Amino acid sequence: MKKNTSNTLIIAGRPIGPAYPPFIIAEIGINHGGDFSRAKRMIDDAYKAGCECVKFQTHIIEDEMVPNSVIPGNSKQTIWDIISRCALSEDEENQLKNYAQKKGLIYLSTPFSRAAVERLERMKISAYKIGSGECNNYPLIEIIASKRKPVILSTGMNDIETIRPAVSILHKYKIKFALLHCTSIYPTPFNKIRLGALSELTKAFPDALIGLSDHSMSIYPSLAAVALGASIIERHFTSSKRWPGPDIPISMDRKELQELIIASGIIHQSLGGNKRILKEEGPTIRFAYSSVVAIRDIAKGEKFSHNNIWLKRPGTGQLKAKDFKYILGKRSKLDIKKNAQIRREWCHE
């Protein structure tokens, strides 16, 4: 995927973009199940894993949904019951934000309603993460964009044409933003991840940073996305895969989060560059290259041929393997001893 090296998004002082290591978001979401102590533990574990950012979800249920009996595909409970149980109070969210920030972590949360946006504004959130379900909720995006803070927008359940109006709103308010490719299947089969969408998003929205929000059962697709130029990676996170919750099965634990952070940083360092010989390869060239050498004594005036010269290491001779054809058929200007590295000035033109 072609890199947009001129684009940088800054969240809480952290620059994000192709020139910087991938920004890894540990999506705690509702994995705490409404348990404040579990929420704090996940912040602790994300911090210990070396993560920079933890993300929660802000649910104010009366402004978010009507009572319903809809059951998500990854649960046996209704979405109403799940959110009713998992919603945190404003005081709890503020405590978690302060707790995370004292550890040096960036705290983000996804709002699902107007009231949630206003809560996050009171909390002085540094940026907004918009979930896939709100990607085509243009009135809510308008409210969020009007706050003029950086936006990270997930795009699951949407295509290029439904993403365009959301991007137009972000353009209207002249804010920096990122688009995360996402497949809203829990868990996402590997053949439905479609990393090809990253380049499609880059082409359609050249001023956007591009990333991946992944719901598969492995960190490998996220690492592949980094290799393709993703600047942001978001994955669900939990302290224990034994905890109950609809998103727990697709969540990474502390060990996997740490592996994702380390590996994505290594991959990022490996990107770019061009195919040329590096100065640092010099010491290896000295022993690994071959030089043109005499394989027996050669008399003055004798023609150089496969019978008296060949290529042998080290590569410290003047004439290397690439020069072999140059010397063939020429005559020696002097007597040459076996194993001598042949020099250009020893050859008659």
Whether residues 31 and 70 fall in one domain: yes
Query: Average pLDDT in the 126-151 region?
Result: 98
Whether residues 219 and 340 fall in one domain: no
Q: What is the pLDDT of residues 247-282, one digit of tens each?
A: 999 999 999 999 999 999 999 999 999 999 999 999
Residue given tokens 């042949």 in the structure block: 342
Round to whole Å and give the CA distance between 169 and 110. 18
Round to whole Å and give the CA distance between 76 and 1. 39
Residue 314: asked if its preceding bond is cis (omega within 30°), the reply is yes
Q: What is the pLDDT of residues 185-229, one digit of tens each?
A: 999 999 999 999 999 999 999 999 999 999 999 999 999 999 999
Whether residues 290 and 340 fall in one domain: yes
Strand, coil or helix: what is 263? Answer: helix
pLDDT at 333: 97
| Residue ranges with strand state E in the chain | 9-11, 14-16, 23-29, 53-58, 106-111, 128-130, 151-154, 177-182, 209-214, 232-236, 291-294, 309-312
Is the pLDDT at 2 greater than 80? The verdict is: no
- Spacing of C-alpha 230 from chain mean position: 4
Number of helices (H), then strands (E), belonging to the chain: the values are: 12, 12
Tell whether 245 is covered by a domain: yes
Domain boundary among 246, 270, 294: 270
Give me the CATH number covering residue 88: 3.20.20.70
Domain boundary among 252, 270, 288: 270
Least confident of 2-16, 223-237, 296-310, 333-347: 2-16
Whether residues 41 and 167 fall in one domain: yes
Whether residues 64 and 157 fall in one domain: yes
Give me the CATH number covering residue 323: 3.90.1210.10
pLDDT at 1: 46
Tell whether 335 is covered by a domain: yes
Whether residues 208 and 334 fall in one domain: no
Whether residues 142 and 210 fall in one domain: yes
CA separation, residue 102 to residues 17, 57, 97, 176, 314 (Å): 25, 20, 9, 26, 57
Tell whether 305 is covered by a domain: yes
Tell whether 4 is covered by a domain: no
pTM for the predicted model, two decimal places: 0.93
Tell whether 6 is covered by a domain: no
Tell whether 3 is covered by a domain: no
Round to whole Å and give the CA distance between 184 and 192. 10
Query: Average pLDDT in the 74-84 region?
Result: 94
Round to whole Å and give the CA distance between 43 and 180. 23
pLDDT at 7: 85
pLDDT at 349: 78
Query: Average pLDDT in the 128-148 region?
Result: 98
Whether residues 205 and 145 fall in one domain: yes
List the domain range (segments joined by +) for residue 336. Answer: 279-346
Q: What is the mean pLDDT of the chain?
A: 96
Whether residues 181 and 321 fall in one domain: no
Whether residues 157 and 290 fall in one domain: no
Whether residues 140 and 257 fall in one domain: yes
Sorting pLDDT into bands at 50, 70 and 90, what band is 3? very low
Tell whether 147 is covered by a domain: yes
Q: What is the pLDDT of residues 149-186, one digit of tens each?
A: 999 999 999 999 999 999 999 999 999 999 999 999 99
Strand, coil or helix: what is 192? Answer: helix
Domain count, the chain: 2
Whether residues 90 and 191 fall in one domain: yes
Question: Which amino acid is located at 39 in the chain?
Answer: A
Tell whether 5 is covered by a domain: no
Sorting pLDDT into bands at 50, 70 and 90, what band is 6? low
Sorting pLDDT into bands at 50, 70 and 90, what band is 5? low
pLDDT at 133: 97
Query: Average pLDDT in the 97-111 region?
Result: 98
Domain boundary among 211, 245, 270: 270
